[in-house]
Amino acid sequence: MSHDTRRLFFALWPSPHIVSRLQALQAGLDGRLTHPQDFHLTLAFLGDQPASVLAVLQQVLSRLPRLAVPMLLDTPGYFPGPRVAWVGPGQVPDRLASLRAAVVEELAKVELVWPDRASFRPHVTLARSSQRAPAPFAQSIAWTAHQCVLAHSRPAADGAKYEIVQSITLKG
């Protein structure tokens, strides 16, 4: 019998307009560029979880606050260990911090064990296996996130591909 697990995460998903703005920031980056359909800002990476918890996680998603999350993607960055080039908000907006806290709280209620609960550096990955941070850019990206998702990371030959399991709309 196979052990059915899924690599899962909660994230904010950008609109097509924001996706095109993020793609522009990939100019000049080396490494494996994030596919436009895979841009997201992770709220909680849950790691490998048994498929049996999917229904519980969909309930967690349904209980999250439904307020849209305005933010300014104004800070290019680089994680040297995993060699990830990214962009994120220089200041974590209150609604983003509140949504992240709600995710953590809801996951605690269902007693889900997941890695890196304590760390949260909101960012959108632009490239993996990169040698450097994105170049400084002239204009920040004003993004109001209206979609929060539970997503599944599927391994692929050219890196993981992401599939939305369930989505909620954030308003306001």
Compare 157 and 77 and report the one with higher pLDDT: 77
In this predicted model, what pLDDT tens digit does every residue of 117-169 receive, in sequence order?
Answer: 778 999 999 999 999 989 888 889 999 999 999 999 988 877 788 999 999 99
Poorest-confidence range of 10-19, 69-78, 129-138?
129-138
For residue 111 the two structure tokens come to 């007693």
For 29-46, write each residue's pLDDT tens digit: 999 999 999 999 999 999
Domain ranges of the chain: 5-169
Mean pLDDT of the chain: 93
| Statement: residue 1 has pLDDT above 50 | no
CATH number, domain 5-169:
3.90.1140.10
Location of structure tokens 């993981």: 160
Higher-confidence position of 5 and 147: 147
Predicted pLDDT at 2: 43
Q: What is the pLDDT of residue 126?
A: 97
Instruction: Please say whether the beta carbons of 85 and 4 come within 8 A.
Output: no
Residue type, 68: A
pLDDT at 3: 66
Which three-class secondary structure string do you get for the chain? CCCCEEEEEEEECCCHHHHHHHHHHCCCCCCEECCHHHCCEEEEEEEEEEHHHHHHHHHHHHCCCCECEEEEECEEEEECCCCEEEEECCCCCHHHHHHHHHHHHHHHHCCCCCCCCCCCCCCEEEEECCCCCCCCCCCCEEEEECEEEEEEEECCCCCCEEEEEEEEECEC
Extract the tokens encoding 17. 């307009």
Integer angstrom CA distances of residue 31 from 20, 45, 48, 84, 119: 19, 22, 25, 9, 25
Q: Residue 131 in contact with residue 83, Cβ under 8 Å?
A: yes
Query: What integer is the mean pLDDT of 42-52?
Result: 94
Give the model's confidence band at 47: pLDDT under 50 very low, under 70 low, under 90 confident, else very high. Answer: very high
With a cut of 80, say whether residue 8 has pLDDT above it.
yes
> What does the alpha-carbon distance between residue 146 and residue 152 come to, in Å, rounded to a whole number?
19
All residues at 6 or more sequence positions from 132 whose CB lies less than 8 Å from its CB, including other chains: 29, 30, 78, 85
